Amino acid sequence: MTGRVRRALVWVSVPLALAACSQRWCTLIGCARTGVIVTIDGFPTGPPVRVQACLDSTCVDRGVDAVPGTVGIDIPETPRPHEAVVWVRITQDRSVLLDTATRVTLEELAPNGEACGPICWSADLTATPGGLRQTSAP
């Protein structure tokens, strides 16, 4: 190969390599779970319990037929602080079984890499007669 041909190949291959490097290739994996899951455990069996739960200003109000049971609070896939306050109130036959709040550390997951999105946020909590505690590793 002559020097002239080599130089021509370099001039052609360098822009192609730079163009390939400037493109971002992202997979399309979404969030398997985005939100806070509260497991209700240790409360008396019998009539269903009513669970009200809030993460910041996002709230749910649901009945749980069997203990243990779960209640989920969805979190939008948007940037947010890693810490949040979760409030839980559990009632059964008009009796308050638990009314408490705790600060949680949300786990951040970027299934496609941080540059591609989405960013998923989640935390697991357990509500017992003794209180509310985070069970997922921050």
Mind listing the pLDDT tens digit for each residue in 55-66? 888 889 998 887
Q: Is residue 13 pLDDT above 50, yes or no?
A: no
> Counting every residue, how long is the chain?
138
- The helix/strand/coil state of 16 is helix
Q: Is residue 18 pLDDT above 50, yes or no?
A: no
Q: In the chain, which ranges are E strands?
A: 35-40, 49-55, 58-64, 69-74, 83-92, 95-105, 107-109, 120-128, 131-134
Banded model confidence at residue 73, pLDDT cuts 50, 70, 90: confident
- The helix/strand/coil state of 64 is strand
The hierarchical CATH code for the domain 27-134 is 2.60.40
pTM of the model: 0.71
